[in-house]
Amino acid sequence: MTGKRGAVAAALMGVTVSMAAAAAPAGAPAAAARNDTTTVVRTEDGRVRGIRTAGHRVFLGIPYAGAPKGAHRWAPPRPVRPWKGVRDATEPGPLCPQVPSQYADVSSLEEDCLVLNVTAPAPSVSRRRAPVMVWIHGDGTVGGGSLFDARRLAARGVVVVTVNYRLGVFGGFAHPGLEGSGTFALQDQQAALRWVRRNAAVFGGDPGRVTVAGSSFGAAAITAHLVSPGARGLFHRAILSSGEGMMDMPAGVMGPGIPAYPWYTWRTGREMADTGVTTARALGCSDPVPQRALRCLRALPVKKVLEMPHVMNLFQAFAFGNRVLPELPEEPLRAGRFPRIPVLSGATRDEHRLFVGMLYDAVGRVFTEDDYDRALDTAFGALAGTVRDRYPADGFASPALAWATVVTDRMWARGTWAQNSALGRHTPTYAYEFADRDAPMYLPLPGGFPFGAYHAGDTPYLFEDKEATSRFTPAQVRLSDTMTDYWARFARTGTPNGPGLPKWPRFMPEADIPYTQSLAPDHIGPVDYAAGHRLAFWHRLP
């Protein structure tokens, strides 16, 4: 996708922004620990001073790679220059370059941003090292690791590392002759994982028990790492929330005029390079010699690059067919050509309500029944009537909810089922559906629209977010506690099952009803995911 329409689609496709990016980053651990003592550890690059509380140790803004600026913009991450003395790690580091969006009023012009944050349990008398969880935030154009407060998971005995990586045009730019085109964000994440392997022990973590976890765009990145040669051996379990690795996109589902696309997250190197040439021309760096064009682009100030409309969204994808990502990921996933590590994978019950609400009813543009008919015609052509019969507008509270349900089932649920099935045929896989239809909305969107169990609505149930958790009911607090226990247990043992927790069997694709765990305040237990999302119907259609 190129041009303004592609940019709008990309912006909506990656809307899993960090919770705190939707508000002020005051929920970061440092703010709550200002009056506590400090603590120092020695990393391979030098000593860092963090914050120590009764239950946690928090280290913020630790560099894991050198500044990707100047000649190093759009180049592989390079080693950090070691420092002398003690580096302060009590304040968040800079966010990577980004611009404000409809759902996140944050911005940055700082390229020296490849930092990570460590939240560790307080030292205990036990000599057994704690499991490590590395969180890759979603969206791909906004956000940062310090906006996720991981103290709730750390309280369960997990060392949590949250990561900044290059976003948008800085993480996904591609151009003829540019080595690594379309993969710089993935390379950053792998550099962070290598840092974790080398340094986890000084924070009390076990480098042999690393779980990589992420939501939406972050989960798609993890799908890439599952099949990327450069990530082999860097993690031992994976958690995919609202993963997009095996999704396609029917026409119009991200708004009028947005074409169909065979892969939701992946792009060919040629396609992304063509977009890069167009972008270079728009930025005044057109040159028939690629290296001269790249020198011109690398010399541009960050502010100048970001002034180009939609430039961040144009590269909100990952390129395949290269050294970092040799294949379209679904091919090795289906064939079982990936490490046989345990996976926890799921989605939300009402994934697409967030996107429909943001485009229409929640912002005052009512989605009418005529709009619904046009959307079905655009997405399904000659099959629109068949879909309309299965999802009649008068069977829902509004045409907007009818359309959101169609897309949730056709795109998100079908893609999630395909991914879980591919994984479950080859490795222990635990499937879930987050189903709290009263989940607090943490994005700054108007009320009045029933967002339900919306895309990424499960994130505040795992990470501390005052805007959301202050509105939790007692039942939602219990759900949050159970989910956090599940995630921590999975990081520790490779299964979410443990004493006192509702049983969670594996997802077995060959079973009559493969097991999916419903996560809702009033029900933690099995759900027939395929029946609930009408997958038998969708599997009969193209």
How would you classify the pairing of strands 86-88 and 429-434? unpaired
**333 in Cβ contact with 222 (< 8 Å):** no
Cα separation, 181 vs 513, in Å, equals 42
Region of residue 204 (left: phi > 0; alpha: psi -120 to 50; beta: else): left
Cα separation, 265 vs 325, in Å, equals 13
From the list 137, 455, 480, 533, the catalytic residue is: 455
| Catalytic site includes residue 236 | no
From the list 216, 228, 480, 518, the catalytic residue is: 216
From the list 111, 351, 433, 464, the catalytic residue is: 351
How far does the chain reach from its first CA to its final CA, in angstroms? 21
Q: Which of 427, 429, 426, 402 is nearest to 529 (CA)?
A: 429
Which residues are paired to 168 by β-bridges? none
**466 in Cβ contact with 378 (< 8 Å):** no
How big is the chain by its Cα radius of gyration, in Å?
22
Q: How big is the chain, counted in residues? A: 542
Cα separation, 146 vs 59, in Å, equals 10
| Catalytic site includes residue 101 | no
Residue 64 CB neighbours (<10 A) = 25
Q: Which of 49, 218, 48 is nearest to 133 (CA)?
A: 218
**226 in Cβ contact with 141 (< 8 Å):** no
**55 in Cβ contact with 120 (< 8 Å):** no
| Catalytic site includes residue 523 | no
Two tokens at 83? 């420092």
Q: Which amino acids are annotated catalytic? A: 216, 351, 455
